[in-house]
Chain A
Amino acid sequence: MQASDRFNINSQLEHLQAKYVGTGHADLNRFEWAVNIQRDSYASYIGHYPLLAYFAIAENESIGRERYTYMQKMLLPCGLPPEREED
Chain B
Amino acid sequence: MHKLKSMFFFLLQTEYGDIFKVTLEHDGDRVSELKIKYFDTIPVTASMCVLKSGFLFAASEFGNHALYQFKAIGDDDDVEASSATLMETEEGFQPVFFQPRRLKNLVRIDQVESLMPIMDMKVSNIFEEETPQIFTLCGRGPRSSLRILRTGLAVSEMAVSKLPGIPSAVWTVKKNVIDEFDAYIVVSFTNATLVLSIGETVEEVSDSGFLDTTPSLAVSLIGDDSLMQVHPNGIRHIREDGRINEWRTPGKRTISKVGSNRLQVVIALSGGELIYFEVDVTGQLMEVEKHEMSGDVACLDIAPVPEGRQRSRFLAVGSYDKTIRILSLDPDDCMQALSVQSVSSAPESLLFLEVQASIGGEDGADHPASLFLNAGLQNGVLFRTVVDMVTGQLSDSRSRFLGLRAPKLFPIIVRGKRAMLCLSSRPWLGYIHQGHFLLTPLSYETLEYAASFSSDQCVEGVVAVAGEALRIFTIERLGETFNETVIPLRYTPRKFVLQPKRKLLVMIESDQGALTAEEREAARKECFEAGQAGENGTGSADQMENGGEDEDKDDPLSDEHYGYPKAEADKWVSCIRVLDPRTGNTTCLLELQDNEAAFSICTVNFHDKEYGTLLAVGTAKGLQFYPKMGLTAGFIHIYRFVEEGRSLELLHKTQVEGVPLALCQFQGRLLAGIGPVLRLYDLGKKRLLRKCENKLFPNSIVSIHAYRDRIYVGDIQESFHYCKYRRDENQLYIFADDCVPRWLTASYHIDFDTMAGADKFGNVYFVRLPQDVSDEIEEDPTGGRIKWEQGKLNGAPNKVEEIVQFHVGDVVSCLQKASLIPGGGECIVYGTVMGSIGALHAFTSRDDVDFFSHLEMHMRQDHPPLCGRDHMAYRSAYFPVKDVIDGDLCEQFPTLPMDLQKKIAEELDRTPGEIMKKLEEVRNKII
Contacts and interface: CB of A to CB of B under 8 A. Distances in A.
A59 B46 CA distance: 17
B761 interface: yes
Given A48-B762, A53-B834, A62 B511 contact: no
Contacts of B116: 53
Interface string B473-511: 000000000000000000010000000000000000001
A59 B811 CA distance: 17
A61 B61 CA distance: 11
A62 B15 contact: yes
Contacts of B834: 49-50, 53
A44 to B, nearest CB: 9
A57 B140 contact: yes
B625 interface: yes
Nearest to A50: B811
Given A57-B492, A60-B511, A60-B513, A51 B61 contact: no
Interface string B798-818: 000000000001110000000
Contacts of A58: 512, 625
A58 B761 CA distance: 16
Interface residues of B, number: 28
A39 B811 CA distance: 21
A62 B61 contact: yes
B407 interface: no
Contacts of A54: 117, 745, 760, 811, 833
Nearest to A64: B15
Nearest to B832: A50
A71 interface: no
B interface, by DSSP: helix, strand, loop or mixed?
loop
A65 B15 contact: yes
B215 interface: no
A57 B513 contact: no
Contacts of B761: 48, 51
Contacts of A56: 61
A57 B117 contact: yes
B464 interface: no
Interface string B743-762: 00100000000000000111
Given A60-B492, A60-B513, A63-B61, A51 B15 contact: no
B297 to A, nearest CB: 58
A60 B46 contact: no
A53 B809 CA distance: 13
A60 B514 contact: yes
Contact of A57 (B46, B832, B833): B833
B259 interface: no
A50 B514 CA distance: 23
Interface string B47-63: 00000000000000110
Interface of B: 15-16, 44, 46, 61-62, 116-117, 119, 140-141, 492, 511-514, 569, 625, 745, 760-762, 809-811, 832-834
Given A48-B762, A50-B762, A64-B15, 19 more contacts: A50-B810, A50-B811, A50-B833, A51-B761, A53-B117, A53-B811, A53-B834, A54-B745, A54-B760, A54-B811, A57-B62, A57-B119, A59-B513, A60-B492, A60-B511, A60-B513, A62-B16, A62-B44, A64-B46
8 contacts: A50-B762, A50-B832, A51-B760, A53-B62, A59-B512, A59-B513, A62-B61, A64-B44
The 7 closest A-B pairs by CB, nearest first: A62-B15, A50-B811, A60-B512, A62-B44, A65-B15, A50-B810, A60-B513
